[in-house]
């Protein structure tokens, strides 16, 4: 695993040419943010309506525009942060996954998020930086994403692991989403999926961090999931799935896809099976 994903506050201070993206709400951003950071709450808020190629193309164009307007350039790091790594269901990892999926080789996540930055006594800004336009053209990587047809095929495929990492009430069928019991029209899970709640990839520190690679591999092994397996991860809208994607990637898992439409898409099509 050679790709750098997690950046410390000191890493961020040492970078001389980077783009920093704050995915929190505009209100939180205005109350204080890392100097130079650009606020793109859509990174967390966006819901993929369906996985058709046309819709994926629209999503790619939408976020390519957001990122270019934030000053993102293909040849310099772009670092995402939230308050901490579980404050918005792993939304910073969703940003990392989105930008990586769109072809950026230098996306990253601020370990510990804004909470760590504040605890370190580092400077905080309350005004947005001047807008700069970057040079970023989306080139989506189809190996990083799963669509409904892929998930349907995986249900009956012994060679693909479907990994559900939603919160327990969703997995048990008590709730349809984190946004309310009946936010989505159906409750349940995708047939054949295995379940590892996303929190289990984190330690119990005051400022949540990913467990060690060895501990993550051991957790996978408990569920008969190995680093060489072909794995499709889903949650409700792709944030927790992206969070687990990062955890597994850090632990050396090689074949990972995020079903970005996740339960928000699956539950809205009565033709798709649930259990």
- Residues 211-250: tens digit of each pLDDT: 999 999 999 999 999 999 999 999 999 999 999 999 999 9
Q: How confident is the model at residue 2 (pLDDT cuts 50, 70, 90)?
A: low
Encoded tokens for 168: 């327990």
133 lies in some domain = no
Q: Are residue 101 and residue 202 in the same domain, yes or no?
A: no
How many C-beta atoms lie closer than 10 Å to residue 10's C-beta?
A: 10
Picking from 63, 84, 119, the residue at the C-terminal end of a domain is 119
* Sequential DSSP letters for 86-113: TTTTTHHHHHHHHHHHTT-TTEEEETTH
- Domain extent, residue 23, equals 6-119
261 shares a domain with 150: yes
Tell me what percent of the residues of the chain surpass a pLDDT of 90. Answer: 92
Q: Indicate whether 98 and 182 sit together in one domain.
A: no
Residue 135 located in a structural domain: no
Mean confidence (pLDDT) of the chain:
95
Domain annotation covers residue 219: yes
Condensed to tens digits (0 to 9), the pLDDT of residues 167-184 reads 999 999 999 999 999 999
pLDDT per position as a tens digit, 56-102: 999 999 999 999 999 999 999 999 999 999 999 999 999 999 999 99
* CATH code at position 259: 3.40.250.10
The reply to whether 272 falls in a domain is no
**Is residue 111 located within the same domain as residue 34?**
yes
Same domain, 149 and 219: yes
Give the CA distances from residue 143 to residues 6, 7, 105, 140, 146, in Å, rounded to whole numbers and listed in that order: 22, 25, 14, 9, 8
Q: How many structural domains is the chain composed of?
A: 2
Is 155 found in the same domain as 104?
no
112 lies in the same domain as 168:
no
Q: What percent of the chain has pLDDT over 70?
A: 99
Residue 44 covered by a domain:
yes
List the Cα angle 189/182/235 in 5-degree steps: 35
Domain assignment present for 128: no
**Same domain for 30 and 80?**
yes
Asked whether residue 231 is domain-assigned, the answer is yes
* In-domain check, residue 216: yes
Q: Which residue is listed with tokens 């687990």?
A: 244
Residues β-bridged to residue 22? 39, 81
């Amino acid at each position: 695993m050679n790709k750098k994903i997690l950046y410390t506050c000191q890493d961020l201070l040492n970078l001389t040419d980077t783009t920093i993206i704050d995915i929190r709400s505009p209100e939180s951003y205005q109350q204080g943010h890392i100097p130079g950071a650009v606020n793109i709450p859509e990174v967390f808020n966006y819901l993929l309506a369906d996985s058709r190629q046309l819709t994926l193309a629209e999503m790619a164009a939408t976020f390519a525009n957001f990122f270019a307007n934030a000053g993102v350039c293909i040849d310099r790091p772009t670092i995402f942060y939230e308050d901490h790594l579980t404050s918005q269901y792993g939304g910073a990892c969703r940003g990392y996954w989105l930008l990586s999926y769109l072809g950026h080789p230098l996306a990253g996540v601020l370990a510990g998020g804004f909470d760590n930055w504040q605890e370190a006594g580092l400077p905080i800004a309350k005004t947005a930086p001047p807008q700069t336009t970057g040079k970023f053209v989306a080139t989506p990587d189809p190996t990083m994403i799963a669509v409904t047809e892929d998930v349907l095929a995986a249900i009956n495929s012994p060679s693909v692991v479907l990994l559900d990492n939603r919160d327990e009430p969703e997995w048990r069928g008590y709730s349809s989403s984190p946004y309310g019991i009946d936010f989505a029209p159906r409750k349940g899970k995708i047939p054949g999926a295995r379940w590892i709640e996303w929190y289990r990839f984190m330690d119990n520190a005051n400022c949540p961090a990913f467990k060690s690679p060895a501990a993550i591999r051991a957790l996978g092994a408990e569920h008969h999931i190995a680093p060489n397996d072909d794995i499709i991860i889903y949650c409700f809208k792709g944030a927790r799935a992206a969070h687990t994607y990062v955890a597994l990637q850090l632990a050396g898992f090689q074949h990972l896809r995020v079903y970005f439409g996740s339960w928000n898409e699956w539950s809205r099509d009565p033709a798709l099976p649930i259990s």
